[in-house]
């Protein structure tokens, strides 16, 4: 899944100041500060796209799909200045974690890697229509924005996702301590690209996307003076396969992306007998209609009665529109 972050134009224009040299009688332009002011263009966005490292898609294809989606739903007086697919920045985590009495130490290690992965590369989860309804979302909140192929995105969860500029080891300790079975984090350090390890914080590259380097990281589980002997490659392979299945979402059917229409009840309108048949024949609104010698005033009175009775006057007499409506069962009049 890719997430986009809007930004300002990468090259704002500048407003300069004119100067006049009296000794040379020349009019010049001073383009250096403090004679210039930056002019930011509103409505011009720079889009940064973070893709999943589990799906191998060409950068050109991702940029084309993002441009097509944004162009179809961009607001008025706005345009896309740049669409950049961020390259990955591998982050290595080195930690020694003390665990308690657990039944499956391999599951604890997998959960630690999973938590660190989600922290470094947070993603907005897709939700189904039933999940949002159960959460108390209104229909206008659910269907706000373009219709997506894989589900719905919660606006609050989408606004909470921000790009990280630094990684603090205290935050990583909090994520690890939230896993059941973990008692303490004895030591922890982080690095980028196998550079020098940092024990407190690590500044990230703003033009790259941080991603957990599973093969370069090393997390050791200990209990007292004993260390857990685990098949780490097998655990990591299972984790990557699970993440790949999560990322490879299926496209929802139209029935799963909209509320089901309520089933109608056939009112049998063809069997309805109009009130026009209950008027005396003298009124001229029955099946016989009016005589050919009726005056215009008489025809006008008859039409007024037809409107009140819900029928229509023709050359051969009034007719009941309910009979014609019954011939189209899909009409909202026949099935309500």
Please give the Cα distance from 83 to 74 (Å, whole number). Answer: 14
Higher pLDDT, 328 or 299: 299
pLDDT tops 60 at residue 14 = no
Name the band, by pLDDT with cuts 50, 70 and 90, for residue 77.
confident
How distant, in Å, are the alpha carbons of 91, 201, 264 from that of 166? 12, 7, 57
pLDDT tops 50 at residue 90 = yes
Q: What is the percent of the chain where pLDDT is above 70?
A: 79
pLDDT of residue 21: 55
Name the band, by pLDDT with cuts 50, 70 and 90, for residue 166.
very high
- pTM for this entry: 0.69
Which of 148, 139, 141, 124 has the alpha carbon at shortest distance from 257?
148
Return the axis-axis angle of helices 105-120 and 169-177, rounded to nearest 10°: 140
Q: Report the pLDDT averaged over residues 249-260.
A: 79
**Domain spans, the chain:** 3-85, 87-256, 269-325
Higher pLDDT, 242 or 272: 242
pLDDT of residue 144: 87
Higher pLDDT, 155 or 284: 155
Q: Please enumerate in sequence order all residues whose Cβ is within 8 A of that of 173, keeping only pairs 6 or more positions apart, or say none.
A: 185, 188
C-alpha torsion sign, points 40, 42, 46, 50: positive
pLDDT tops 70 at residue 154 = yes
pLDDT tops 70 at residue 104 = yes
pLDDT digits (tens, 9 = 90+) for 221-239: 999 889 999 999 999 999 9
How do 17-21 and 26-30 pair as beta strands? Answer: antiparallel
Which of 49, 46, 61 has the alpha carbon at shortest distance from 88?
49
Q: Report the pLDDT averaged over residues 9-14.
A: 47
Q: Report the pLDDT averaged over residues 102-124.
A: 93
Mean pLDDT for all residues in the chain: 81
Q: Report the pLDDT averaged over residues 98-110.
A: 94
Which stretches of the chain are DSSP H helices? 59-73, 105-120, 129-134, 139-142, 155-160, 169-177, 232-247, 296-309, 321-325
Please give the Cα distance from 175 to 116 (Å, whole number). Answer: 7
Which of 290, 270, 271, 269 has the alpha carbon at shortest distance from 279?
290
Name the band, by pLDDT with cuts 50, 70 and 90, for residue 68.
very high
Judge whether 79 and 43 are in contact, CB under 8 Å.
yes
pLDDT digits (tens, 9 = 90+) for 275-322: 767 777 777 766 677 777 788 888 888 777 777 655 554 444 444 455
pLDDT of residue 188: 96
Q: Report the pLDDT averaged over residues 76-90.
A: 90
Q: Report the pLDDT averaged over residues 253-278.
A: 79
pLDDT tops 60 at residue 132 = yes
Please give the Cα distance from 70 to 79 (Å, whole number). Answer: 9
């Amino acid at each position: 899944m890719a997430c986009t972050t809007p930004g300002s134009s990468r090259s704002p224009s500048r407003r300069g100041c004119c100067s006049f040299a009296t000794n040379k009688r020349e009019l010049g332009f001073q383009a250096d500060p403090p004679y210039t002011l930056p002019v930011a263009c509103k409505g011009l966005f720079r889009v940064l796209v973070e893709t999943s490292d589990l799906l191998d898609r060409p950068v050109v294809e991702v940029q084309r799909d993002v441009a097509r989606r944004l162009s179809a739903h961009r607001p008025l007086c706005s345009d896309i200045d740049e669409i950049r697919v961020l390259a990955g920045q591998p982050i290595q985590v080195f930690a020694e974690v003390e665990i308690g009495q657990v039944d499956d130490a391999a599951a604890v290690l997998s959960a630690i890697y999973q938590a660190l992965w989600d922290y470094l590369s947070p993603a907005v989860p897709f939700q189904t229509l039933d999940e949002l309804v159960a959460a108390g979302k209104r229909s206008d909140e659910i269907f706000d924005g373009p219709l997506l192929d894989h589900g719905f995105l919660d606006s609050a969860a989408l606004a909470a996702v921000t790009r990280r500029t630094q990684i603090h080891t205290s935050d990583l300790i909090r994520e690890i301590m939230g896993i059941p079975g973990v008692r303490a984090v004895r030591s922890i350090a982080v690095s980028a690209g196998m550079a020098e390890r940092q024990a407190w914080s690590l500044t990230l590259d703003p033009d790259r996307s941080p991603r957990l380097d599973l093969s370069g990281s090393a997390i050791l589980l200990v209990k007292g003076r004993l260390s857990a002997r685990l098949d780490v490659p097998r655990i990591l392979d299972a984790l990557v396969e699970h993440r790949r299945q999560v990322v490879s979402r299926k496209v929802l059917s139209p029935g799963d992306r909209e509320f089901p229409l309520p089933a109608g009840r056939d009112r049998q309108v063809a069997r309805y007998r109009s009130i026009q048949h209950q008027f005396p024949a003298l009124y001229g609104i029955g099946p016989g209609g009016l005589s050919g010698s009726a005056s215009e005033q008489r025809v006008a009175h008859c039409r007024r009665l037809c409107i009140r009775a819900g029928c229509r006057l023709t050359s051969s007499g009034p007719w009941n529109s309910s009979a014609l409506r019954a011939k189209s069962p899909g009409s909202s009049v026949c099935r309500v």
